[in-house]
Structure 1
């Protein structure tokens, strides 16, 4: 069992995510941190009759205690995207939050596995990498951008147009990044019986819906929030998969994640060649005791998927660079 720390535990994603992690038999201590309301969240969750001890930690003075001894740190902290808000605007707010939380993690639990949910993931994951590098504790195998929601959406939306039931056993791989055109669902890998039901225009419509599913939720909530519940579900799914590999030693655990490709020098280098030498890319990752055990290569892509990779790389280069430059300009 492991100590898991959730940074931003009182927020729209943090609360349902913390509830789901409290249910995990792999968690011995659930440490909840936020700058508001977290004592109440911790008290509420502590009444649930599952083994995990729950502690609440309020404000910067208690951040160190929340992180000490943590084996897994999940960061959903930050503001949600609002109607009409660009991801660049979102970056300006969330980048500083993620930088400061990463600095604390690098100081208090440098060997923890870091799962980054805070958007824009294409920039916040490089921010965490650069912070850990500056502290001399960077291990690319232990850093993950959580992109599981893109797979969850692809599975769900495919099922809705084919009249089937969503199933994780027939999931659609999603590669690239975690924003707009950088999200590349590989519907060519779906079961043949489902692929045959997708004419070209429907495939493009389905792809667009996966890429902009977040906008769909923001619009439906009419300014009252973003994709919090589905993101919490996806975050918990990834975190529990990682814990199964790390704590239980489970083999064959594969999940999508936006990772440093150097985490697997051999396969990562092949992926880099396929995506214009990007340093980070969302791929299927086999998880192990050390974190990233193996990165899955992209393999054979359809012409449409190859075009999407080409279209995604300029934006990914820019987003990654923005995160790296933000830390370079910061005083740590």
Structure 2
């Protein structure tokens, strides 16, 4: 008995005197600190992320709707709301969403001073702030819209490169084609670019195409997925109806051209029909939330399928010879795992050929502003010049021939 008490008394001080281990960096040299950050980025050390989604521009109409749906997802533990514009009350939005009885915690940040806190340990960053199209949207050029949203998107990209190097960046701010190129080149300049972790959202176009197709052939939209390739803009999106039309028995092939026009002009149609002079913010917000949810499920649960996203292709030859193209993706723990390129028919090939020039011009617009270069119109957009051959010089007739 005495031996048991003595042994127990000896064990207790040993447990109390064990030193605690603090995993904290006390290196004061900038060079060594940079090497340590690079080691944490590339070394296969087990990382325990907080399953956090940060929405930049959460006070916008699209951001509010997206945050409403993201609050209901169990895969998201922390939902961070950030807004740069003081007129958009992000604290009121966060307080309102926080009353929803789900397990997701909500955090709100206002102003650029708190941008680092909003992005800290984020796994997915959604850029959805800025200005959107308003009627008459058919007269609004993508270049004008890009100039309004470019400062916000570029600031967000620089902050993501510095404060959220591991996060997947999903761009929803229009025009998505140009802003994707802006974010891509900005991350590349910061030496923190990974093509598997920078995406331009094309989910709303794929969702609209799937809904129109299923309504035409009387099918359940939840049982089918219809991809949209090439780009995300009005003149660059190419819905692929041919693959699903061949499988459907009661789908008239003559409606492909009409449905394609409806998908490409969906923004203008919604602007004209809605009485409050707004774009389709409801469908944009829902598709944005579903896109971010698929990313989180692919990172933390199992590999998931995304309808369409503008990314840098691994093999351009397999993607219609295009290095940057919107295609369906398979998301895993590391980001984009597989690029699923659908087969297209002759009508879609012709539409893709016509849309490729506009996509390259939009990508060039974002690249020029990322590098600080002067924007120039893409050569394919320049009008063709027609040269007329000079008239042949005729020798004057001699006097003998004239007589």
Fold shared per TM-score above 0.5: yes
User: Partner residue of 2:69?
Assistant: 20
Aligned-pair distance for 1:218? 1.4
- Tell me the residue number matched to 2:206: 151
8 Å CA contact retained: 1:170, 1:191: no
Once the two structures are TM-superposed, the CA of residue 237 in structure 1 deviates from its matched residue by: 1.3
Unmatched tracts of structure 2, length 5 or more: 1-49, 374-403
Equivalent residues in 2 for 1:61-210 (5 A)? Answer: 61-84=113-136, 85-167=140-222, 169-192=223-246, 194=248, 197-200=251-254, 202-210=255-263
User: How far is 1:163 from its partner?
Assistant: 3.2
Cα distance in 1, alignment partners of residues 102 and 304 from structure 2: 27
SS of residue matched to 1:171: coil
Give 1:86 deviation, angstroms.
Answer: 2.2
- Deviation of the 1:223 alpha carbon: 5.8
Q: Is the 8 A contact 1:3 1:72 kept in 2?
A: yes
The number of aligned residues is: 318
Deviation at 1:160, TM superposition (A): 2.4
Report the Cα distance in structure 2 between the residues aligned to 1:195 and 1:214, rounded to whole angstroms: 30
Partners of 1:173 and 1:253 in 2: CA distance = 11
- Label 1:37 to 1:268 Cα distance change in 2 as closer, same or farther (>3 A): same
Preserved contact between residue 187 and residue 195 of structure 1 (Cα < 8 Å): no
Superposition TM-score, scaled by structure 2 size: 0.76
In structure 2, distance between residues paired with 1:160 and 1:42: 36
Alignment counterpart, residue 319 of structure 1, candidates 348, 359, 362:
362
User: Could you tell me how far 1:315 is from its partner in structure 2?
Assistant: 0.4
Q: Distance in 2 between matches of 1:252 and 1:61?
A: 35
The TM-score, its normalising length taken from structure 1, stands at: 0.91
Q: How many angstroms apart in 1 are the aligned matches of 2:250 and 2:325?
A: 29
Which is greater in Rg?
Answer: 2
* Alignment CA distance shift 1:217-1:195 (3 Å): farther
Three-state SS of the structure 2 residue aligned to 1:315 is helix
State the partner residue of 2:93.
41
Select the structure with the greater relative contact order (CA < 8 A; seq sep ≥ 6): 1
CA offset digits 1:215-244 (Å, max 9, x no partner)? 111112256321211011111111111111
Distance 2:224 2:305 in 1: 15
User: 1: distance between equivalents of 2:249 and 2:235?
Assistant: 21
- CA RMSD across the alignment: 1.6
Corresponding residue number in structure 2 for 1:270:
318
